[in-house]
């Protein structure tokens, strides 16, 4: 690795890779440093794989803007490059009159955000679309879909490398020091050897460790509101051939503070069905699934999906949301900014990139590229 680079990105999840694909080229030396053996081993491979349409997020927020833009960009990328995807559509199902009122609010919010084709349907139409789903009404989102997220990461990695970027795995960033014209970055290799180099611009895409990286650069994350709260989301697979009984993604009406979107039904590209994710604040990163939660999953799913039987559910996998919103707190937006006002010009932080981070990834890459362009 050369000892001077123009742009260094910490973290090779979908966001770091999408960013590298956007900023590489123009004779810039660009490095992506990843602590794991391979890219995309953390949150970017532990999610629902849904291309969201942009319904839930506060109008004007980065989450709303980047999700809607990312939705459009992802379908374009998939069409052009043959990445596996399906625009299945999604139904948010109300099971009471009170929830039906919430559907109207969600529709208006989604419409303001630019989500396409949202429509409220009554029970009769719901039954026509999904005979096996129970509800009094639903919000149909036709532009919601699913994507092969690993193929997407391969795509971003290939675009970045074609433009000259280097993706270096087993390189853990352990030190950041502000020097004249950039940053001295210290990297631990294979958990023992260390080396340092300087970079003009440093982009923090470290997912669940983004607050630790911000601290290494000297930011007080508690004071700045950058401290992460981990919110675990577990999934249970649904067997017994039940996957053939729904055609779309089926979601409940979310609870008001949006800690998660509620346990929902997702289908993958092979047609497998799973339920999840739940949302539970945890102190550490542990991807095991607590089989004692099976009853909670079963009870919440059967309200909309009466065909599901207790025996159909098996613990599958879990992911962890890097949330800025602590328990009981209000919804927080993505933080994506150059930290010049904290005395750290050219240090670009991406903090709290939870859902819809996968959907937003190509739009986040563009957003960071615009910040970089203004600096270089």
Residues contributing to the site for ligand FAD (CB under 6 A): 10-16, 33-36, 41-44, 46-50, 52, 172-173, 205-209, 213, 233, 277, 319-321, 353-359
Name which of 86 and 127 has its Cβ closer to ligand FAD. Answer: 86
Provide the minimum distance between the beta carbon of 325 and ligand FAD in the complex, in angstroms, as a whole number: 14
Provide the minimum distance between the beta carbon of 124 and ligand FAD in the complex, in angstroms, as a whole number: 29
Name which of 100 and 243 has its Cβ closer to ligand FAD. Answer: 243
Is the separation of the CB atoms in 94 and 138 below 8 Å?
yes
Name which of 137 and 273 has its Cβ closer to ligand FAD. Answer: 273
Q: Helices then strands (H, E): number in the chain?
A: 9, 20
Provide the minimum distance between the beta carbon of 336 and ligand FAD in the complex, in angstroms, as a whole number: 11
**DSSP labels, 195-249:** EEEEEEEEEE--GGGHHHHHHHTT--HHHHT---EEEEEEEEEE-TTGGGG-SSE
- Side-chain-side CA neighbours of 338 within 13 Å: the count stands at 16
Judge residue 230's burial from the number of C-beta atoms within 10 Å of its C-beta, 0-12 exposed, 13-18 middle, 19 or more buried.
middle
Provide the minimum distance between the beta carbon of 155 and ligand FAD in the complex, in angstroms, as a whole number: 14
Residue 133 gets which letter from DSSP?
Answer: -
Name which of 92 and 137 has its Cβ closer to ligand FAD. Answer: 92
Name which of 61 and 123 has its Cβ closer to ligand FAD. Answer: 61
Cα–Cα distance, 29 to 46 (Å, whole number): 31
238: left (phi over 0), alpha (psi -120 to 50) or beta: beta
Is the separation of the CB atoms in 53 and 71 below 8 Å?
yes
Q: CA dihedral defined by 365, 320, 56, 248, rounded to 10 degrees?
A: 100
**DSSP labels, 152-173:** HHHHHHHHHHHTT-EEE-SEEE
Provide the minimum distance between the beta carbon of 198 and ligand FAD in the complex, in angstroms, as a whole number: 17
Name which of 258 and 307 has its Cβ closer to ligand FAD. Answer: 258
Is the separation of the CB atoms in 281 and 327 below 8 Å?
yes
Name which of 125 and 268 has its Cβ closer to ligand FAD. Answer: 268
Name which of 47 and 200 has its Cβ closer to ligand FAD. Answer: 47
Provide the minimum distance between the beta carbon of 171 and ligand FAD in the complex, in angstroms, as a whole number: 6
Provide the minimum distance between the beta carbon of 151 and ligand FAD in the complex, in angstroms, as a whole number: 14
Name which of 26 and 257 has its Cβ closer to ligand FAD. Answer: 257
| Helix, strand or coil, per DSSP, at residue 73 | helix
Provide the minimum distance between the beta carbon of 125 and ligand FAD in the complex, in angstroms, as a whole number: 25
Cα–Cα distance, 16 to 350 (Å, whole number): 10
Residue nearest to ligand FAD (CB): 357
Angle at CA of residue 233, ends 231 and 234, nearest 5°? 145
Is the separation of the CB atoms in 85 and 75 below 8 Å?
yes
Provide the minimum distance between the beta carbon of 146 and ligand FAD in the complex, in angstroms, as a whole number: 8
């Amino acid at each position: 690795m050369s000892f001077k680079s123009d742009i260094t990105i910490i973290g090779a999840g979908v966001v770091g890779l999408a960013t590298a694909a956007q900023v590489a080229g123009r004779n810039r030396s660009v490095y992506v440093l990843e602590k794991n053996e391979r890219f995309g081993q953390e949150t970017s491979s532990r999610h629902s794989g849904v291309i969201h349409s942009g319904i839930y997020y506060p109008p004007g927020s980065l989450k709303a803007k980047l999700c809607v833009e990312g939705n459009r960009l992802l379908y374009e990328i998939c069409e052009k490059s043959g990445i596996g995807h399906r625009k299945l559509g999604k139904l948010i199902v109300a099971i009471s009159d009170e929830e039906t009122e919430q559907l109207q609010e969600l529709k208006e919010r989604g419409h303001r955000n630019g989500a396409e084709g949202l429509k409220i349907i009554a029970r009769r139409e719901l039954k026509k679309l999904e005979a096996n789903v129970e509800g009094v009404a639903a919000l149909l989102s036709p532009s919601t879909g699913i994507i092969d997220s690993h193929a997407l990461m391969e795509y971003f990695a290939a675009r970045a490398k074609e433009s000259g970027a280097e993706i270096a795995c087993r390189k853990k960033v352990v030190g950041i020091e502000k020097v004249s014209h950039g940053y001295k970055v210290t990297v631990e290799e294979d958990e023992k050897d260390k080396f340092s180099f300087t970079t003009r611009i440093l982009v923090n895409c470290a997912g669940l460790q983004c607050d630790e990286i911000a601290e290494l650069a000297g930011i007080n994350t508690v004071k700045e509101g950058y401290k992460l709260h981990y919110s675990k989301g577990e999934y249970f697979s649904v067997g017994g051939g039940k996957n053939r009984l729904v055609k779309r993604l089926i979601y409940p009406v979310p609870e008001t503070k949006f800690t998660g979107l509620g346990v929902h039904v997702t289908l993958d590209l092979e047609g497998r069905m799973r339920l999840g994710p739940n949302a539970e604040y945890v102190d550490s990163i542990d991807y095991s699934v607590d089989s004692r939660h099976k009853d909670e999953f079963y009870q919440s799913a059967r309200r909309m999906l009466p065909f599901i039987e207790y025996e159909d559910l098996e613990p599958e996998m879990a992911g962890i949301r890097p949330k800025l919103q602590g328990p009981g707190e209000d919804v927080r937006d993505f933080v994506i900014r150059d930290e010049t006002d904290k005395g750290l010009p050219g240090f670009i932080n991406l903090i709290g990139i939870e859902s819809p981070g996968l959907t937003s990834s190509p739009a986040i890459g563009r957003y960071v590229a615009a910040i970089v362009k203004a600096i270089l």
